[in-house]
Every structure is written in C-alpha cells, then in structure tokens.
Amino acid sequence: MSELALRAQKLDAADELAGVRAQFVLDDVVYLDGNSLGALPVAVPGRVEDVVRRQWGELRIRSWDESGWWTAPERIGDRIAPLVGAAAGQIVVGDSTSVNVFKAVVAAVRMAGPGRDEIVVDATTFPTDGYIAESAARMTGRTVRPVTPAEVPGVLGDRTAAVLLNHVDYRTGRLHDLPALTAAAHAAGAVAVWDLCHSAGALPVGLDEHGVDLAVGCTYKYLNGGPGSPAYLYVRAGLQSRFDSPLPGWNSHAEPFGMRPAYEPAQGAPRGRVGTPDILSMLALEAALDVWDGDGVSIDAVRAKSLALTDFFLECVAAYVPSGRVESLTPLAHAERGSQVALRCPDAGDVMRRLIERGVVGDFRHPDVLRFGFTPLYVGFADVERAARVLGGLLT
C-alpha cells in the first residue's frame, strides 16, 4: 500500500464526519459529482413513500393542513437558513433556480429605482443566469453589463441597479469574495443578488452577516434534495416589504383563498411564492435535510473537511499524474476555493468516460475540463486517493 493510501486511512479514521456517510445510499463507486447531483440520503425513500401512500393516498386534500403541506415552503426554508447564515423567516423554497433568479433580478431592479439602468452580471457565470438577466433587462428597459467578478468594483456607479454574481464558479471552483463584492455593490447604491448553487451546503455563506440583499440557490447539489428538487429564494428581512415579485401568484397573495381580483402581497418570505408548490419533491428535500441534524454536523465542520479533501486530492494528483498532463484551474488559496477541483486536460471528455468506466464518477465541462466535486458528508479520503490513482493510471 502506498504512503498516500496509508495516510488516507489515517485521515478517514480521524474524520469526525465519517459516520455521516452511513446516512447515504452508496456503493463501491467513488462519487465525485455531488456538485451536480447529490447522493440519495437513506431517509428519503421511506419519507416519500409516506407522503405518497398515506398523506396523498389516504388523507388526500386534508394533507394541506394535517400534513403541513401548505407551510412547507417556509418551514423547509427555515431549515436551509442556518446553512447559508440566515435567520428564520427569510427563505422560501419553491420553483427552479432560474425562476428564482428572474424574481430576484427583476425585484432588485424595481428596488433600485428608475434612475439606474444597468444590471452588472458575472461574465463567467452559469449561462442561465446570463440568459435570465438579459431577459429581465429587456423587460425592465435596462441593459446588461457582463464583467468578471474581479472587474465588478471598477464598473459600479450611479447607473448600477443590481449586481448578479455566482458565489462559486461552476467551471473552476473559484470562490468569489461575497463580503467585499456585496459591500462594493452597496457603496454604489446597487442591490446585491447572489447565486449560491455551488456553495450552499459546502461552505459558510453568511447572508445576514454580510448584508446580502437577495440570494437564490438549488438544493440538488450539496443539499442532496434529489433530481429537480425545488430551489429557494432569500429576501433580507429589511427588504421584504419592498420585494415586488414579477410573478405574483395566488400562493403569494395576502389572502390566497380570498380569490380577489386585485393582488396584495403577503408579508415576509411568503411573498416570494408563486403557485402551488411541488409537494413530492419538496418533502423529499425536507427528509434529505435530516442529515444535518446530527451532532457535530455543522457547516463549519463540512468546510474544514472540504478543504482537507481538496488539498489531499491535489497532492495525490501531483504524485500520481505525470507532470504537465493536467493543469489545475482551482485556486490553491483556501479563501478562493469552493468544494470542487477542476483539472484542464486536452482529452478531458474521453478521460472522464474512462474514469467512469473504472468506478470514479466526476464530470466533463466543454471543452477540456475534468470537474470533481467533494461532498464532505459522504466523500472520504480513501475515495480521494483512489480517484487520483485511477486518473494517474489513465494518463501515464
């Protein structure tokens, strides 16, 4: 056994989160794609069966009250809140990330007022965020200004209505400076909107601490909610009375069952709702969040292990992969790193296919990026060593 494999064993033996792995349905595959789709928590199938067979099958319409269906978007939002550094009452769960980005950007422009005609967007962002921003700009008579996150402070001014940024770059795993960029947006009088898809559940976010205005995120990555599980929308408490949703549905009405022709928004986080929530996937997500209830399972502990895992992976890659065969795009500095490692490799698509055939699952990003996501709740150090060793064998 190699020195790195022995170290991996020792690190796993000392890992305070190692026991959480048993709460997931796993096999012998090294699963390093939790930044695309998290593994299945063992509590979910039984909970979903209860929702389908008893709550829907037996109680039927009564479950909106008796099973808590109606309050699920806010209740589950309050469970996500500590994972992103938010107090209760500021997060509502529902719809997709794209829909919530649309709500947030349009609401941000409306909050900023008519004198501000520019939406600043991360030019390297996940494509959908850019598409949504362009559409929101057309609808509100604004223009979009795409820049890199590093360029954001230099372009902000009295024309800036909103700034839309990703907390972690989905390609490279670079962690952007949320506190500093939020402060810069506020100094310019703009509204800060953050996409947390690649950070929530993997590292501390500090929404309240850093005064973030609006934030959105998905729940099927590091929160393990399942394929297509509902997204969430954060509206800072002090802005909730000014949050003017572009999608005013009956679920966000102050009197949802009043069926009034005139719209009056609900108070607080519920004004971010739109239509009838997707109960099956929402309650699967609620069950998935149970893994965070154990002793010692905190976002700080997850962050510490995430950095240790990615450090160890980079060390193993350096040891096992021939020099010059791959190039890491992920920053070495902990303050600039999310919970993934992206390696540039000329034949990345074929390499990832062969990795998957050998039981190491990551993903490929066009044109030349091998992407490996590290979910500390179920990924161990032996997984990391094995993945790098298999990669090295393919590239030798």
- Closest CA relative to residue 351, chosen from 390, 324, 312: 390
The answer for residues whose C-beta is within 8 angstroms of residue 155's C-beta and 6 or more apart is 120, 145, 147
Q: Quickly tell me which residue has 């790195």 as its tokens.
A: 4
CB atoms within 10 A of CB 51: 21
Spell out a b/e string for 206-225, using b for 16 or more CB atoms within 10 Å of the CB, else e. Answer: ebbebebbbbbbbbbbbbbb
- Closest CA relative to residue 237, chosen from 264, 217, 215: 215
Contact 220, 227 (CB under 8 A): yes
Question: Which active-site residues does the annotation give?
Answer: 126, 195, 220-221, 371
CB atoms within 10 A of CB 189: 16
- Closest CA relative to residue 373, chosen from 201, 225, 149: 201
Contact 91, 78 (CB under 8 A): yes
Distance, CA of 263 to CA of 378 (rounded, Å):
46
Distance, CA of 86 to CA of 38 (rounded, Å):
22
